[in-house]
């Protein structure tokens, strides 16, 4: 099944992260009280959030009790955002995005302040990316989602949305159809056929809130990974970063395009291999270009490194949907943002500051 396959791939990636990190720590002692290579990283894994696998790692040698407390709080934060952002299910006592979508065309709803903050951020991300990352693309995304789901149960009869369906749906994707009253704490979707989909931003945003919590309690040497949205809190105890690898989109999971070393920052990749289905031998992935209403065709993967994991998530989707000149111009214009583009022929291009993250072989 798809989800399991996905989980396995993430596991492989994380194992690699752990392995490479262990290697990177070797031979770097210096502090007689705690030789870093002596510290066994602790980890927890959760399967219930955002339709993916989530990991919390502690490389700083926290006591088992403290790690349990901190990872439990991270898990709770992810769970709460998972419920708030879910567009397919509602939960007892929670007004979430599913509720907001159902109420489209009706009255404004009072929302949890966290949801209001999120919606305001989503609108900022729309502005920042010239509408390439648009949470109001729900009507179009649903057509693709339904075809993908149908293909997973009946691959023989897999099909893609028709041009007419896509064009019709496009008429219900304006960002202005989402009205937010921050003062009153309410929001409403004005068009009954419009809907919100936060797949491009929700995970990264939630990870950033969890990272904020860890920072607020003085945690250092933690790594969060929620479905490939990686956020490092501080650095390893010896001050070095974690080595992780960016997958080669075309090849087996063991083959990596590039290794990077990161600390105190987020790293998010959007790729054609994350979720897709096949019709008549053609692969259709899940990142949709607003200009064609079809899967974006410029790159095979797009990696963003920046401190805020929500920004990294939004940009990884948006830059993926932009032609090279525009994409690199936007990335270079943003302070503290670095990006790596992998093209269909395997060519790699990056922002001028990306090389600083390259890990020595
Ligand atoms: P992933 O979550 O698989 O790591 P992304 O962060 O790129 O990948 O988000 C992809 C998801 O975002 C899609 O599954 C869909 O729900 C949504 N999405 C796809 N294209 C867009 C877009 N242009 N704007 C906003 N959301 C999008
Ligand atoms: Mg994204």
Q: Is the CB of 317 under 6 A from ligand 1?
A: yes
Each residue's pLDDT tens digit, 317-357: 999 999 999 999 999 999 999 999 999 998 999 999 999 99
Phi, psi of 4 (to 5 degrees): -70, -45
Each residue's pLDDT tens digit, 56-105: 999 999 999 999 999 999 999 999 999 999 999 999 999 999 999 999 99
Helix, strand, coil tally for the chain in percent (to 5): 40, 20, 40
pLDDT (0 to 100) of residue 275: 86
pLDDT (0 to 100) of residue 253: 55
Residue nearest to atom 15 of ligand 1 (CA): 199
Q: Contact, 301 vs 278, CB < 8 A?
A: no
pLDDT (0 to 100) of residue 273: 82
Share of the chain above pLDDT 70, in %: 88
How far is ligand 1, taken at its centre, from the CA of residue 17, in Å?
A: 24
pLDDT (0 to 100) of residue 32: 31
How far is ligand 2, taken at its centre, from the CA of residue 314, in Å?
A: 5
Asked whether the predicted pLDDT for residue 179 surpasses 80, the reply is yes
pLDDT (0 to 100) of residue 102: 98
Residue 233 vs residues 58, 105, 152, 223, 228: alpha-carbon distances, Å = 10, 42, 37, 6, 15
pLDDT (0 to 100) of residue 40: 82
Instruction: Give the ligand at the shortest distance from the Cα of 197.
Output: 1
Q: Is the CB of 313 under 6 A from ligand 1?
A: yes
Asked whether the predicted pLDDT for residue 24 surpasses 50, the reply is no
How far is ligand 1, taken at its centre, from the CA of residue 360, in Å?
A: 32
Lowest mean pLDDT among 91-100, 216-225, 272-281, 333-342: 272-281
Residue nearest to atom 5 of ligand 1 (CA): 200
Ligand 1: nearest atom to the Cα of 275: 3
Q: Is the CB of 241 under 6 A from ligand 1?
A: no
Q: Which helix (H) or strand (E) is 159 found in, with range? A: none
Largest CA-CA distance found in the chain, in angstroms, rounded = 68
Q: Is the CB of 129 under 6 A from ligand 1?
A: no
Q: Is the CB of 296 under 6 A from ligand 1?
A: no
pLDDT (0 to 100) of residue 251: 59
The mean pLDDT of 187-201, rounded to a whole number, is: 98
Q: Which helix (H) or strand (E) is 188 found in, with range? A: strand 186-189
pLDDT (0 to 100) of residue 361: 59
Each residue's pLDDT tens digit, 304-323: 999 999 999 999 999 999 99
Ligand 1: nearest atom to the Cα of 197: 16
pLDDT (0 to 100) of residue 213: 98
The mean pLDDT of 27-47, rounded to a whole number, is: 61
Ligand 1: nearest atom to the Cα of 228: 4
How far is ligand 2, taken at its centre, from the CA of residue 303, in Å?
A: 10
Asked whether the predicted pLDDT for residue 196 surpasses 70, the reply is yes
pLDDT (0 to 100) of residue 252: 55
Domains annotated on the chain, with CATH:
97-189 (1.10.3980.10), 241-361 (3.10.520.10)
pLDDT (0 to 100) of residue 265: 98
Query: Which residues are near ligand 2, the ion (C-beta closer than 5 Å)?
Result: 200, 313, 316-317
Residue nearest to atom 22 of ligand 1 (CA): 133
Asked whether the predicted pLDDT for residue 154 surpasses 60, the reply is yes
pLDDT (0 to 100) of residue 316: 98
Top mutation candidate among 199, 304, 311, 321 for ligand 1, by most atoms within 8 Å of CB: 199
b/e map of 106-140 (b: 16 or more CB within 10 Å)?
Answer: eebbebeebbbebbebbbebbebbebbbbbbbbbb
pLDDT (0 to 100) of residue 188: 98
pLDDT (0 to 100) of residue 255: 72
Q: Is the CB of 290 under 6 A from ligand 1?
A: yes
**What's the mean per-residue pLDDT of the chain?**
90
pLDDT (0 to 100) of residue 77: 98
How far is ligand 2, taken at its centre, from the CA of residue 39, in Å?
A: 33
């Amino acid at each position: 099944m798809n989800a399991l396959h996905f989980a396995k791939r993430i596991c492989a990636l994380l194992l690699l992260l752990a392995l490479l990190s262990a290697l990177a720590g070797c031979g770097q002692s210096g502090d007689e009280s705690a030789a870093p290579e002596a510290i066994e990283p602790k980890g927890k894994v959760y399967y219930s959030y955002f339709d993916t696998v989530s990991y919390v790692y502690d490389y700083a040698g926290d006591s088992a009790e403290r790690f349990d407390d901190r990872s439990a709080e991270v898990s709770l934060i992810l769970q709460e955002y998972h419920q708030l952002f879910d567009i397919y299910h509602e939960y007892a006592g929670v007004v979430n995005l599913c509720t907001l979508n159902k109420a489209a065309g009706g009255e404004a709803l009072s929302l949890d302040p966290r949801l209001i903050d999120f919606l305001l951020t989503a609108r900022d991300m729309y502005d920042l990316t010239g509408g390439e990352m648009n949470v109001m693309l729900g009507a179009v995304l649903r057509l693709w989602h339904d075809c993908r789901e149908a293909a997973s149960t009946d691959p023989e009869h897999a099909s893609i949305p028709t041009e007419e369906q896509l064009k019709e749906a496009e008429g219900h994707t304006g960002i202005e159809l989402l009205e937010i009253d921050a003062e009153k704490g309410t929001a409403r979707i004005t068009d009954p056929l419009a809907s919100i989909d936060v797949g491009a931003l929700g995970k990264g945003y939630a990870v950033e809130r969890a990272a904020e919590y860890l920072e607020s309690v003085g945690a250092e040497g933690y790594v969060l990974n929620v479905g490939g949205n990686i956020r490092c809190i501080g650095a390893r105890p010896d001050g070095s970063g974690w080595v992780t690898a960016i997958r080669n989109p075309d090849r087996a999971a063991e083959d990596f395009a590039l290794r990077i070393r990161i600390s105190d920052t987020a790293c998010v990749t959007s790729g054609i291999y994350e979720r897709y289905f096949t019709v008549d031998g053609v692969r259709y992935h899940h990142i949709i270009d607003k200009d064609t209403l079809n899967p974006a065709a410029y790159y095979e993967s797009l990696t963003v490194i920046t401190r805020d994991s929500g920004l990294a998530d939004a940009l990884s989707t948006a830059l993926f949907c932009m032609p090279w000149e525009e994409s690199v111009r936007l990335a270079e214009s943003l302070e503290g943002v670095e990006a790596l583009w992998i093209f269909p022929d395997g060519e790699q291009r990056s922002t001028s500051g990306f090389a600083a993250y390259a890990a020595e072989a």
